[in-house]
């Protein structure tokens, strides 16, 4: 096969199908029609003498050949994109762009107000969309450019992503001011375990950091309520005798009694994640700087 006789656009199609696992989504990403993607895939299959993708119930599954060549294809496209980006300018005052972020409701509360205040002054044409992408889909969405950044825990199994610590927070125990224990100077482990707790998790089952830490001590707390979002949990605390183990940055926004935890629990560690292909992209770099500035460690 002679590379100089190949249409290099075909590799863009290959990467788009690989990242999205779907011909229609690949077409949307490339801003071309679905038949055009199908035709490009057919040409690649003939050229490389391999099906490249097998259609299945979960989408287009890469063949072993595709898996073997994709790292080098992505590296080559990234290098080309970086070379082109070096000659581009990003003017935030004139930019017209949608910034797409994946984060939970607590991150929205802490990040979006100062971020929008900054963008309103420096980049009024930038709009923001915030939504939740499951952790196991983050790398694929960032690679497919359907997501610009994610705020999440560090992802050790995603070498194609760049990560930087954005925010670190300790956990506190939150009770309403009228709670029977509100007048205590501190909270003992036995008092903590006698409380009924709210557990915040987007999962239907499974322990939280507090439960894991208590399990190591051979202890267990009583979960009275399990909710999906952090923002609703303090409102429930303020009207009941339930306790909430909550990051200090969120707890401090409410008039409530706050206690240091009577056991060790890891700090909440948020990282900013983006795809390495956009490391040198001027728009991505400027937006990254704004995100890091408004919620820096």
**Low-confidence stretches of the chain (pLDDT beneath 50):** 1-4, 86-87, 297
Which pLDDT score, from 0 to 100, does residue 107 have?
87
> What tokens were used for 175?
């009770």
Edge-to-edge strands of the sheet including 97-102?
A: 126-131, 97-102, 149-152, 268-275, 161-169
> What tokens were used for 30?
């490339």
Average pLDDT, the chain: 88
Say whether 114 sits in a helix, a strand or coil. Answer: helix
Taken in order of first residue, the domains within the chain and their CATH numbers are 3-85 (1.10.10.10), 97-153+275-294 (3.40.190.10), 171-266 (3.40.190.10)
Q: What is the DSSP letter of 135?
A: G
Which pLDDT score, from 0 to 100, does residue 205 have?
87
Q: What is the pTM of this model?
A: 0.63
Which residue has 């900013």 as its token pair?
Answer: 272
Distance CA 243, CA 174 (A): 6
Closest CA to 116 of 105, 130, 132, 102: 130
Distant-in-sequence contacts of 227-232, Cβ < 8 A, 24+ apart: 227/198, 227/199, 227/200, 228/200, 228/201, 228/202, 229/104, 229/105, 229/106, 229/200, 230/104, 230/105, 230/106, 230/109, 230/200, 231/105, 231/106, 231/109
Distance CA 277, CA 159 (A): 12
pLDDT more than 70, % of the chain: 93
Which pLDDT score, from 0 to 100, does residue 84 have?
58
Distance CA 179, CA 64 (A): 61
């Amino acid at each position: 096969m002679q590379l100089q006789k190949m249409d290099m656009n075909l590799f863009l199609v290959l990467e788009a199908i690989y990242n999205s696992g779907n011909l229609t989504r690949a077409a949307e990403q490339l801003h071309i029609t679905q038949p055009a993607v199908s035709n490009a895939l057919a040409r690649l299959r003939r050229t490389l003498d391999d099906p490249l993708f097998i259609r299945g119930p979960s989408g287009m599954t890469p063949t072993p050949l595709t898996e073997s060549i994709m790292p080098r294809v992505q590296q080559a496209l990234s290098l080309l994109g970086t070379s082109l980006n070096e000659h581009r300018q990003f003017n935030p005052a004139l930019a017209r762009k949608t910034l797409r972020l994946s984060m939970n409701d607590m991150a929205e509360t802490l990040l979006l107000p100062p971020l929008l205040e900054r963008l309103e002054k420096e980049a009024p044409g930038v709009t923001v969309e915030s939504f939740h992408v499951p952790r196991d889909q983050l790398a694929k969405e960032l690679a497919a450019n359907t997501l610009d950044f994610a705020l999440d825990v560090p992802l050790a199994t995603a070498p194609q992503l760049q990560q930087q610590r954005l925010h670190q927070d300790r956990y506190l125990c939150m009770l309403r001011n009228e709670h029977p224990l509100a007048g205590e100077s501190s909270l003992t482990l036995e008092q903590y375990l006698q409380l009924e707790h709210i557990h915040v998790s987007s999962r239907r089952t499974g322990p939280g950091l507090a439960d894991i830490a208590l399990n190591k001590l051979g202890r267990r707390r009583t979960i009275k309520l399990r909710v999906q979002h952090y923002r609703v949990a303090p409102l429930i605390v303020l009207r009941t005798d339930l306790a909430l183990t909550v990051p200090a940055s969120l707890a401090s926004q409410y008039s409530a009694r706050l206690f240091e935890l009577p056991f060790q629990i890891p700090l909440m560690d948020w990282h900013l994640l983006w795809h390495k292909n956009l490391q040198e992209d001027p728009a991505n770099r400027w937006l990254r700087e704004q995100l890091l500035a408004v919620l820096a460690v």
